[in-house]
Amino acid sequence: MTKSSLWLTMLMALIWGTSFPVSKIAINVIGPYAFRMAGSLVSCGIIFLIFNKSIRESLKTLNFDEFLRIAIIAVPNVFLVPTLNSIALHFTSVTNATILVYTMPCFTSIILMGLARKLNLLSLFSLLLCFSGIFLILKEVHVGLGEIVILCSAIFWAIGAVVSQKIVTVTPFKAKLFWQILVSTILVSITYPFFQSGPLLQPLVTAFTNTECLLCVLYLGIVGNALVYFIWFYLIQNESAEFASYATLLSPVITVIIASTFLNEQPTSKQVIGFSLILMSALLVNVIKPYVTTKLEKKVR
């Protein structure tokens, strides 16, 4: 772990911590899908402008198989997770969405144990803590569509983290980020017509004509999408999927503080306890387990 990776993890945690409250402000005005569409367009445009040279050079070596691998990585990470997050925030509070989406490290642990076909006591204990926390939270609140969607998002986020590490691509990192965001933007555009009525969709132009929405879209498009995905994939590529998940330990705390301060969302005692259990489970998976594993490997050597 390098010092730069640690600082990038802290920055990613701060960005994620502010993303849900900022998203909620815009979603309350224009709906989740118009917001998601606008954010995708901004992200795609910004990445293209910044990494134009690398993108053009990648066209020389980009073939169908390589693009397919990039697209497979993009679907869970860049398309499904942000889209599900936006829809969930339309139906539930920032606090509930934040607490439940950060069960992602536990789902990552389940996937990794399944792939390795080997049980780990620390991972199993972390899962017990995590699911106990989920039970407390869901028992306290009305379980609606928002809570179900955000848990699905956490599962796809975990799948995306593992897929990103397992699938090998040769496209330069900066160009690969653009192609992933482009794939996501295309998929958002394709699915957009299916939400032509009801509260999920408002006119896309509102995202750019309403000042409050425009500021939120620019922040999420440039910082919350383009920059954070750059950091996310950089950490997975240069460290590991588990290391990239370190940000999940700090960002939900930032989000809940912002939500209680500015959005008047006060968590109940059971939510706080459930939240603490989920964070403890993430701590076990992301910090304690790697530390113990490293120590045991050194003893074996």
The three-state DSSP-derived secondary structure of 140-172 is HCCCCHHHHHHHHHHHHHHHHHHHHHHCCCCCC
Spatial contact of 31 and 201, defined as CB atoms under 8 Å apart: yes
Residue ranges for the chain with pLDDT beneath 50: none
Q: What is the DSSP letter of 263?
A: S
Distance of CA 74 to the CA centre of its chain: 12
CA distance 226 to 220: 8
Q: State residue 180's pLDDT score.
A: 92
Sign (positive/negative) of CA torsion 94, 96, 99, 104?
negative
CA-wise closest residue to 20 among 198, 164, 146: 146
Place of tokens 């603490």: 276
- Tokens representing 257 are 């503080």
Sequence-ordered alpha helix ranges (H) in 102-218:
104-116, 121-140, 145-166, 173-191, 206-209, 211-218
pLDDT at 134: 79
Q: Which helix (H) or strand (E) holds 238?
A: helix 228-238
Task: Report the amino acid identity of residue 249.
Answer: L
Task: Round to whole Å and give the CA distance between 121 and 119.
Answer: 7
140 burial type by CB count under 10 A (0-12 exposed, 13-18 middle, 19+ buried): middle
- Token output for 193: 């017509």
H or E element at residue 221? none
Extract the tokens encoding 92. 């539930």
What is residue 183's predicted lDDT score, i.e. its pLDDT?
95
Cα–Cα dist 182/49, whole Å: 13
Helix (H, G, I), strand (E, B) or coil at 285: helix
The dihedral built from the CA positions of residue 164, 96, 147 and 225, taken in this order, carries a sign that is negative
SS3 of residue 11 by DSSP: helix
CB–CB of 133/277 below 8 Å?
yes
pLDDT digits (tens, 9 = 90+) for 8-59: 878 888 888 888 899 999 888 888 888 888 888 998 998 899 889 999 999 9
Contact yes or no for 245/282 (Cβ under 8 A) = yes
What's the whole-model pTM score?
0.80
